[in-house]
A and B are shown apart, each in its own frame.
Chain A
Amino acid sequence: MDGKTGYKKLKNIFTNYGIVFILLLLVIGFSFLSSRFLMRDNIFNILRQVSIVGMISVGMTLVLLTGGIDLSCGSIVGLTGVGAALLMTKANVNPVLASLIMLVVGVAFGLVNAFFIAQLRVPPFIATLGMMTSVRGIAYIITGGLPVFGFNRSFTRLGQGYIGVIPIPVIIMLGAFVLGYILLNITRIGRYIYGVGGNEEASRLSGVHVKKIKYFVYAASGFASALAGVVLLARVNSGQPNAGSGYEMDVITSVVLGGVSMSGGQGRIGMVIIGVMIMGILTNGMTMLSINEYIQQFVKGLVLIGAVALDVFIKNQRAKRTAA
């Protein structure tokens, strides 16, 4: 009897935390294949590499939970990066102020997304696809397509510095995840976000202002993207108008790997961090093994499909069992 319940428990853990096992497998595999993999420097290295995508994925998690999507996040990274760069170099604005202005800009673009989606009922995929293109356009227009550089040392510390042994971008990412966790798990807005994604009509009839929730999540996603944009700028020390291109796909991949449903209402932010780590470890591990980048890309795609297929398979099995 005991053995049976133990087995059941284990199975339950596996169905709920299957993605954690995949992460562990990767860690074990790579540490056998490369002795440097588990060294402290490399671990922080991985964390720093994923920090930008990690920050954005907090915002994306909120959006996906309401049943939406935000494809404009990569372009907002690019625009806020060059925006801050221009403010600091051309207008001599103080780095802190420049960063804050860009955060406001990020929120503003998020609100524009939400206006199209909540007010005009444009499907989120279309609205943010259009914004992705246009916002990237603005980044090229204001820079004339050229990189912007020459910032103050104090600013680059934001992307390159450490507090103790931990890189600052990693701390910012972890902060974003903690905020996301608090928001989703112990606040009213968090409960409403799950509610709207799970059943929009029932939420409306329960007295929830569904539009306000949509404005909130897209604004949050814009904020997270702008934060990532500024940190990325400080890290690479050069404002590139094409920075953040394709990030939206990396972010969505990580969030979905973390078990957030594309149709909304389901997913936990704690698992998203695992999804982010899996993508980071794959890149880092394969690079250490000097696997060529084309193959890396091929593998990453397969991992996404494989992990999600496994997840769906497990859930279906469970549904069958409960039905029977």
Chain B
Amino acid sequence: MQENVLEVKNLCKYYAGVKALTDVSIAFREGEVHALAGENGAGKSTLIKLITGAETATSGAISVFGKQYDKIDPVWAINNGISAMYQEFNLIPYLTIAENIYYGKEFTKGIFINRKVMNAETKKSLQDMEIDIDPRCRICDLGVAYQQIVEIVKAVSAKSKILIMDEPTAPLTNTETAVLMKLIKKLKEANVTIIYISHRIEEIFEICDRVTVMRDGRCITTKNTKDITKNELISYMVGRELGEDYPERKNEIGNTVLKIENMNNQKLKDICFNVKKGEIVGFGGLVGAGRTEVMQALFGADHIDNGKITLNDKQVKISNPSVALANGIGLIPEDRKNQGVHLGLSVRDNISFSSLKKISKGPFISKKKDYAISEKYCEKLRIKTPNINQLVKNLSGGNQQKVVLAKIMATQCDVLIFDEPTRGIDVGAKQEIYQLMRHIVDEGKCIVMVSSEMPELIGMSDRIYIMRMGKVVGELKREEFSQEKILEYASGLIGG
């Protein structure tokens, strides 16, 4: 039996009443590659934040090398051999590899930096891992894979004993992934413990010794990877029945309204799908699968290289969001604060913002119509605000989301694109948004919805497309819906 280098015991973490982690206990052994698996929002990232000291647990304890701590401080964690690599790198782009690796602990000669020694040492570390790159290269000139490798080398040279990798292969190509896998095996030989988070099921089986499955902030089970099958793993990740808390479907589905054929751009490959009248079409897939990119391209916010968009049997060319809105296509973007609302403007300014042309006479906004349209949608969507002149930044997240929705509905779109419609809003507001979405399709409009929340995707959609690596890899009809099926498509077990 190997020694436990890191052990978390009964960890709980609450954010403003939301339970992110409940009673999580896991032991990590020396020199193992230990996978954390689970859907989006299962609590993996929260756990990592607690281990690296980025956040403090509400209760519970963490033992490092046999000593128990109530809380960990990030600097202490690094000095004691715990490093984490995130998807956003912590490297300085305009410094060289060697300068990055020894950043803050440079070799010096008097007051000068001793570049020669630093480069030689770096070269040696890289060679140890059988990687052939010049330590004098600047980070910004490297590809993503090599940036990742530099991160790992940096961690190793800091004598890290526990290395956390959060979706390290997400941005990598197959050959780059192979390089990383080789590197991980090397590290294992050097007795480094690796905590490996990945959505790619095959990787977990290829490289990890054990896997812990998390779901809804709880730790479900820990297994040796050789003792379970891929399908068993997926069923642990899913593990519940869904679809009861959603408003009943009454909508009648009509003819095809929107048809996308062979849409391509830098991030998308031959996207084809269609949306029918009165239908909610869901888009499932992992983060980074290209779902948001499809919506942005369809809305004219991103460039399309080629592809055909047919709206109500007429081919349309959507070159920018203004054209999309004029054609009756509206987008409720993913990132509410940065893309959706104007926090510094009033509720009224926000709601009428996309409809100003309709309520103006020449260049002048009709004050009466401006108030009328805002009041109408405020009431229709039951936006909770003392009055329509309140600044949006003073509203709750759910009400801000309703303001964005009101803005799009006020343009009287027939096709509404919801990108993560309920991200970061509370349960009550979620239900209201769902009711509104149902109401919209009952009126004969249609909705395209991107959602990373499995229950929401299954509970709301009439049809689901699943994407992976910039392609649509599967389409499921209502009677075929299951979390297992969606996950299998999304993680590449079946389909393209």
A interface residues (Cβ-Cβ under 8 A, vs B): 186-189, 191-192, 194-195, 198-199, 201-209, 265-266, 322
Contacts and interface: CB of A to CB of B under 8 A. Distances in A.
A198 B338 CA distance: 10
B66 interface: no
B321 interface: yes
Contacts of A266: 344
B363 A205 contact: no
B140 interface: no
Contacts of B340: 202, 205
Nearest to A206: B354
A203 B345 CA distance: 12
A205 B339 contact: yes
Nearest to A209: B322
B357 A188 contact: yes
B336 to A, nearest CB: 9
Contacts of A322: 394
A172 B3 CA distance: 83
Interface of A (DSSP majority class): helix
Interface residues of B, number: 31
B342 A195 contact: yes
A188 B364 CA distance: 6
A188 B365 CA distance: 6
Nearest to A189: B363
Contacts of A189: 363
Given A191-B349, A194-B345, A203-B353, 11 more contacts: A188-B357, A195-B349, A201-B339, A203-B342, A205-B333, A206-B321, A206-B325, A207-B324, A207-B325, A208-B322, A208-B353
Contact of B299 (A188, A198, A205): A205
A267 B344 CA distance: 11
B367 interface: yes
16 contacts: A186-B364, A186-B365, A188-B357, A191-B353, A191-B356, A194-B345, A195-B345, A195-B349, A202-B338, A202-B339, A205-B333, A207-B321, A207-B325, A207-B411, A208-B353, A266-B344
Contact of A207 (B322, B341, B342): B322
Nearest to A208: B322
B360 to A, nearest CB: 5
Contacts of A207: 320-322, 324-326, 354, 411
Contacts of B445: none
B338 A201 contact: yes
Nearest to B299: A205
A209 B324 CA distance: 13
B363 A187 contact: yes
Given A188-B360, A191-B356, A205 B301 contact: yes
A53 to B, nearest CB: 27
B170 interface: no
B407 interface: yes
Contacts of B342: 194-195, 198-199, 202-203, 265
B156 interface: no
A194 B349 contact: yes
A186 B352 CA distance: 13
A124 B361 CA distance: 32
B353 A195 contact: yes
Given A204-B321, A205-B331, A191 B365 contact: yes
A188 B354 CA distance: 10
Given A207-B325, A322-B394, A188 B356 contact: yes
Contacts of A198: 342-345
Contacts of B363: 187-189
A12 to B, nearest CB: 14
B126 to A, nearest CB: 37
Q: Which 4 A-B pairs have the closest CB atoms?
A: A207-B322, A207-B325, A198-B344, A206-B354
